[in-house]
Structure 1
């Protein structure tokens, strides 16, 4: 901003005329102060306004009213000229300051409008469909969790029931094994008993045969008596019939007992095979349920990971948007502070302008008084 220095004067006498001057602000730019120009006959005084003159050289003294008065009559004192020149310089400097500040204010307003146009909040993004997607995922995860819990409870109860059935089948299998062992021991005992009976029967037959042979030999040497051979043959036939009957009875009992045991073993074997088949089916079912449970748990983990990733991503985006909003609010606060400062500067310039208008009014009244004095002096000289 251009700074101006003013020569001070302590004179309080009436003001004289003022010639046009110029104040330079930089290369090629000059501000011409307002000046008073008189006509050729000394009448028709006009007040020119301040204006910028762009040239490489400074403007000199124009055909000012003060210069005409000083050259013709020499009525104006030096202090009055200095006071008028001081007012002229101050007016030029104030007007220059007003124009520079107005230009700076316009430039700042343009920058503010551009900044608001560029940095202003864009169209708000609609995240409702993302929230809907997140809510759907949460509902799916909740439903999957409930289904998994229900499936887990069902499979756990089924597994416990299967384990109880398996334990019961193990007990039945143990009982069947013990019964089979007992039956096999009974079969072995019956076989031993049958062998013992056969051996006893053969021994009895051999003893009876020996006894019959001895009696025949004795009877042959003795006197003829009753027919012992016939008696022995009858006894032998009776023993053979009894032995055969005992053998048949024992064999029939053994066969019936063996068949009964075989039927029991076959029944237990079928039951055992059926139990083994049921255990195998239950194991396969348990493995399938465990595989399904593991797949459901994996799906739950994947959905939870997807939910966590989605929440993290949208949380980061929301944090970024919040940071941008905070930055824009900070910039808006700075712009408001700058606007307040510019407003205060503008108010100060308005005060300066009002004071300048008052000084211009005073300046105009002084010029009018000076013109009246000049007219009175001219009229007195004519008289």
Structure 2
């Protein structure tokens, strides 16, 4: 659609033709606006459908959240079971440490008993070493005894080899096989000699008695010495050795009993240690199995969480894509609104030019001027300027026959996207606060939001990370009744 220029209107001087042309153009313009509104309705329907789909996706996410809550509950149960098992394991470890301490004490006692046993073995070795000496002493005493016996037999033979042999003297045997004692033999010899003295002559008796009298003291001394050695030394030595042997046997029996008791205790301790070791192995195997089971459950849960994270990423990508599409639709809508605004401005210019070039005989209706003129219609700068980066103010007035038909004031500025709602609320509130003579019915406020133009050299990543600022336009319009245009 193209509008006629000033030269075209000057060529067509017929006002009816001009009005027809303008009406035709206005009709085309209104049809174009109607098409744009229909396209906007279609876009709004698509946006609502997309929102419904997102809501359905959110419903699906609620199911996923329920599953996640169930998984968290199961994880908490498993953690409680794990804590209970760890508590039982700690108790078993405490009992194991107690038994280990007891085993150490018993082992120490066993070592002490082994040391005592070693000392007893040393005493036994000493006794065993002393046995050869004692046997040698016994042999020596036995040799002395045999020597004395030989001497006694030789003395008896010497007595038998005298001139008058003693036939009556016989060596008596004792029932146990041992020979007669020397005292009995001497008594018999003495009695025999007395009988000889009584029966024979005195000379022979004296001659015979001189030699035995001389040999008798030596024989008696030797016999007494032998009998004293035999009676005193050998029995005492035998009794001493027997007492020592009995003591050694008693000590050896006690040592053997203590050794058997210590061995029995050591075997019991070894059995307890083996049972504890088997219990510890069973606990370790059960702990290892539980760790593997929990590890498998954790891997399954991590796989489920990774799948949910992937789905969440896909949903976020879809949302970002929808936001980008929404931004593109919003940009197209803003561009269309800009085109509509340009068409309106052109239409106003044509109307101004038409009414300014109208002939004097053209019928017109009285246009009432505005009752009041606003000098400050925009809000104070302090209310909004703290949010705006750039601010421009434009005031437009449409004058018809010296009267202001329409007055509009615009103020625009750029600000960050997250501050739009706050700026609009403060701007609207401060507008009517600074202009109390205006009413909300007589003045209409319009806020136009436009994305500020970005640099062409910027990449898409910088545009996504740093979205462009939004250009806000505040428009206040006060208009009197515009007369209808008659062709």
- The alpha-carbon distance between structure 1 residues 85 and 259, as it changes in their structure 2 partners (threshold 3 A), is same
Q: 2-side partners of 1:315 and 1:140: how far apart? A: 24
Shift of 1:344: 4.6
Paired position in structure 1 for 2:94: 143
Contiguous gaps of at least 5 residues in structure 2: 5-19, 167-200, 348-484
Paired position in structure 1 for 2:193: none
1:142-221 mapped onto 2 (5 Å cutoff): 142-144=93-95, 146-213=97-164
TM-score scaled by length of structure 1: 0.59
**Contact 1:162 1:282 (8 Å CA) reproduced:** yes
Shift of 1:238: 7.7
Equivalent in 270, 277, 287 of residue 290 of structure 1: 270
Structure with a larger share of its residues in strand: 2
Shift of 1:203: 1.1
Q: 1-side partners of 2:290 and 2:259: how far apart? A: 46
Shift of 1:202: 0.2
Paired position in structure 2 for 1:226: 204
Range that drifts further, 83-92 or 320-329: 83-92
Range that drifts further, 84-93 or 195-204: 84-93
Equivalent in 225, 228, 231 of residue 252 of structure 1: 231
Paired position in structure 2 for 1:36: none
Paired position in structure 1 for 2:190: none
Contiguous gaps of at least 5 residues in structure 1: 1-9, 14-73, 216-222, 367-374, 378-383
Paired position in structure 2 for 1:114: 60
Q: 2-side partners of 1:231 and 1:297: how far apart? A: 98
1:289-347 superposed Cα distances (whole Å, 9 cap, x missing partner): 23323333343344344445444544554455455445434543443443344345445
Paired position in structure 2 for 1:268: 248
Shift of 1:154: 1.7
Paired position in structure 2 for 1:59: none
Shift of 1:175: 0.9
Paired position in structure 2 for 1:103: 49
1:164-212 superposed Cα distances (whole Å, 9 cap, x missing partner): 1122111011011122332222222222221121112101221232135
Paired position in structure 1 for 2:318: 338
1:267-298 superposed Cα distances (whole Å, 9 cap, x missing partner): 21111121122122222222322332333334
Q: 1-side partners of 2:60 and 2:117: how far apart? A: 83
Q: Which of structures 1 and 2 has the larger relative contact order (alpha carbons within 8 angstroms, sep 6+)?
A: 1
1:27-59 superposed Cα distances (whole Å, 9 cap, x missing partner): xxxxxxxxxxxxxxxxxxxxxxxxxxxxxxxxx
Counterpart secondary structure, 1:151: helix
**C-alpha RMSD of matched pairs (Å):** 4.7
* 1:133 corresponds to 2:113: no
Counterpart secondary structure, 2:203: coil
Q: 2-side partners of 1:182 and 1:296: how far apart? A: 53
Give the paired residue count: 295
Counterpart secondary structure, 2:69: coil
Paired position in structure 2 for 1:218: none
TM-score scaled by length of structure 2: 0.48
Q: 1-side partners of 2:253 and 2:203: how far apart? A: 72
Q: 2-side partners of 1:295 and 1:140: how far apart? A: 17
**Contact 1:105 1:342 (8 Å CA) reproduced:** no
1:76-87 mapped onto 2 (5 Å cutoff): none
Shift of 1:113: 1.8
**Contact 1:11 1:80 (8 Å CA) reproduced:** no
Counterpart secondary structure, 1:252: helix
Structure with a larger share of its residues in helix: 1
* 1:277 corresponds to 2:223: no
- The alpha-carbon distance between structure 1 residues 212 and 78, as it changes in their structure 2 partners (threshold 3 A), is farther
1:349-375 superposed Cα distances (whole Å, 9 cap, x missing partner): 466667879999999xx9xxxxxxxx9
Range that drifts further, 329-338 or 102-111: 329-338
Range that drifts further, 117-126 or 318-327: 318-327
Counterpart secondary structure, 1:225: helix
